[in-house]
Structure 1
């Protein structure tokens, strides 16, 4: 390849790259959806990469395109066992309510479908809430201990945790459909892990998760059972995030660099590592640091398009001719 052609191709490539970077900067500075359907999306969560906390990256999916009716959008939680519709997110008492279409429901009656055990990634900051109860149906009496728990625990205290309570309140008062089981056996057991849930399902026809929803009145034990899974989450609070969100300091949105996962404060005019109204940061700096890109600045980003082309020409006039083979002597990056 002739050196003149090589110079020309590199200049064109860098101009194209610079246009992409500048266009991506403008788009990213305004990117962070705050809702999906009627469910608000706040820190530490984010639908778009670079928004929220990296602890919950790629775990939420808004299932419809932004052009569709917002009310028709469905927020879903991605876990190792599948994607699950989210019914609600509560930030004051941090938890998510998830519906699981694979579990037994009232419409199934005694037609038990094979169930897929719900699981969470242990590396995330999610955990199954202790407010969940698990009901198992038509379990094998040869493989599963099904006994009224109070009586069984009195007789065998060392095996108390291994029994599936056949006299549980929920088995006797099935939420929404008291007579749906029509004589099928039911017992309540809280799995200690996903593996124990799998073991139970090997010997039971199906299962359902029931969480206790607080009615929001006093006393706090006024709760009603509903089908679904309650997943508790942590809100990582940092000084940088509090400063970023402070309205006096600019009211930014806490986010992160999608390549390094380092903290970024997402501001209307660009993204910074401190807060939007930081007087120590120039306007130019704010516009070049963006969520979803590397924090390192390219040659074009550092010098501008014109200066970048000048830099390429200056370097290429001194570069040795290597017949199209990139060597350490003429490598630009």
Structure 2
């Protein structure tokens, strides 16, 4: 006769209750070696070949609220201002600078109809053009205020003069041909065009040159045309959110800090309800797995 048949039912069930949970506990260390859990961020991390990091965002609620609705991502990243849309060429997050390009701006090779460069008040404060971005105002009238009362606003940079633009650039040489002389022009800074429009300045065209401090002895054909903006990163306590695997953003109604953990999950400070330690997402994943396995063990024991 089978010896198991003579054993009481309680002894059999007791044997099962001890064996199966013990096997799960033996497997527990191995499960903790599984790859850490990751959170699916609702924020895009790139646009074209430009990485999108805090404080910027192209999706509403992402990044810092100060930069809200300043960017648009189609096939490329664009910076939006009241005067137009400017393609972002690069962003240096370490040096906190961004290079933009105005497709309607005149350069050495093309002459474009003049227009103003206008930023909002908040843009002018938190990400103005850098001091080494020079605005070249071209074909100015002899009655221009920058040639009279405000002539001190004009300067030469790195030993260059406006005549170089008229002489070296095909696009600007036409002004010399029309007047048989070099019409007045002015190298100036952003504050000049910030407070005076092109109509007030009485100059027909402009171009911008960046990294002007590095252009000594460099001809106009080889200048870097574009505009460099400097930005600051507001300290809103985003380190805690990042360490928990989240993305720092803001509430679209209150613009208060929000840690974005998934498309449907946001938290005030971090992605684990404030219980995360300095270990970051790896430690959080271990805690989640442990809790999950203990739940399974409890569920199995309830059936025995």
TM over 0.5: yes
- Shorter-normalised TM range: 0.5 to 0.7
| Corresponding residue number in structure 2 for 1:9 | none
**Counterpart mapping for 1:184-199 below 5 A:** 184-185=182-183, 186-199=185-198
Residue 225 of structure 1: how far off its partner (Å) = 3.6
**Residue 57 (structure 1) aligns with:** 68
Q: Structure 1 residue 280: deviation in Å? A: 4.9
Check conservation: 2:117, 2:193, Cα contact below 8 A: yes
CA distance in 1, matches of 2:83, 2:62: 24
Gaps of 5+ in 2: 1-38, 177-181, 277-304
Question: Larger Rg: 1 or 2?
Answer: 2
Aligned length: 224
Root-mean-square deviation (Å): 3.5
Task: Using the TM superposition, give the Cα deviation of residue 43 of structure 1 relative to its aligned residue in structure 2, in angstroms.
Answer: 0.1
Deviation string for 1:308-332 (max 9, x for gaps)? xxxxxxxxxxxxxxxxxxxxxxxxx
What is aligned with 1:39?
Answer: 50
Tell me if the contact between 2:145 and 2:151 (Cα under 8 Å) persists in the aligned partners.
no
SS at match of 1:55: helix
Determine the C-alpha separation between the residues in 1 that align with 2:156 and 2:200: 16
* Pairwise CA distance, 1:196: 3.7
Is 1:273 the counterpart of 2:268? The answer is yes
Shift of 1:226: 0.8
- Cα deviation code 1:226-266 (max 9, x no counterpart): 11111111100222x111112xxx22110111111111111
Q: Which runs of 5+ in 1 are unaligned?
A: 1-27, 64-72, 148-157, 216-220, 282-333
Decide whether aligned partners of structure 1 residues 266 and 104 sit closer, same or farther in structure 2, where only a CA change above 3 A counts.
same
- 8 Å CA contact 2:157, 2:212 repeated in 1: no
- Output aligned runs, 1:247-266, within 5 Å: 250-266=244-260
Q: Offset of 1:80 from its aligned partner?
A: 1.2
Q: Pick the structure with more helix per residue.
A: 2
Normalised to the residue count of structure 2, the TM-score between the two structures is 0.63
Matches within 5 A, 1:1-333: 30-63=41-74, 73-108=75-110, 112-124=111-123, 125-146=126-147, 161-163=152-154, 169=160, 171-174=162-165, 178=169, 180-182=171-173, 183=176, 184-185=182-183, 186-199=185-198, 202-212=201-211, 225-239=223-237, 241-246=238-243, 250-268=244-262, 270-278=265-273, 280=275
Distance in 1 separating the partners of 2:157 and 2:98: 28
Cα deviation for residue 48 of structure 1 reads: 0.5
